[in-house]
Amino acid sequence: MSHRAHDAYLEGRILSADPLELVRLLYQGCSDSVREARRCLAEGEVAARSQWVSKASDILTELIASLDRQRGGDIAGRLALLYDYMQRRLLDAHLHQADEPLAEVLGLLMTLGEAWAGVQAQSRPAVVERSEWFQMAPETEAPATHAWSY
């Protein structure tokens, strides 16, 4: 997929995503950025590493800003502290050109992403097997006729 096509696809996903999906996409983008920072560190690409670390930090800033501290209560406060910690670890990694803080942040993001996937799965509405407007006739009765039947 070309870069332009990928950007258009991602933009479409973002514009059509519900809030839970947006957070998942932010976790995914942050994880991808940290992976790229690690790759650049290993390959000695200083400028590129800096860009990827900055992008990951920007995503964490967005996650902090999106927290609803009133409705989220203690969990939102703890997430804010965790996101702040991850930002500091990214800075440590960048300043000391060290992989260990990047690996730690990536591990935290993976854990958060898995937990968030569980939240998403629990919030999906149950599949409705039979709706009020379509009811199967009991097997002992003749099939129901519809206005469009011949």
Q: Which helix (H) or strand (E) holds 95?
A: helix 69-96
CA 78 to chain centre: 18
> Cα separation of 1 and 9, whole Å?
10
Instruction: Report the predicted TM-score, pTM, of the whole model to 2 decimal places.
Output: 0.73
Q: Is the pLDDT of residue 68 over 80?
A: yes
Query: Up-side HSE of residue 116: CA atoms within 13 Å toward CB?
Result: 18
> Cα separation of 137 and 88, whole Å?
63
* Terminal-residue alpha carbon distance, the chain: 49
| Domain residue spans of the chain | 3-123
pLDDT of residue 128: 41
* CATH architecture of the region 3-123: Up-down Bundle (1.20)
> Cα separation of 30 and 38, whole Å?
12
* Whether the Cβ atoms of residue 84 and residue 64 lie closer than 8 Å to each other: yes
pLDDT of residue 97: 95
pLDDT of residue 11: 52
| Of 107, 13, 54, residue with least CA distance to 46 | 54
| Of 74, 61, 77, residue with least CA distance to 26 | 61
Q: Give the dihedral sign, CA 11/16/18/21.
A: negative
> Cα separation of 102 and 31, whole Å?
10
Q: What is the pLDDT of residues 105-120, one digit of tens each?
A: 999 999 999 998 888 7
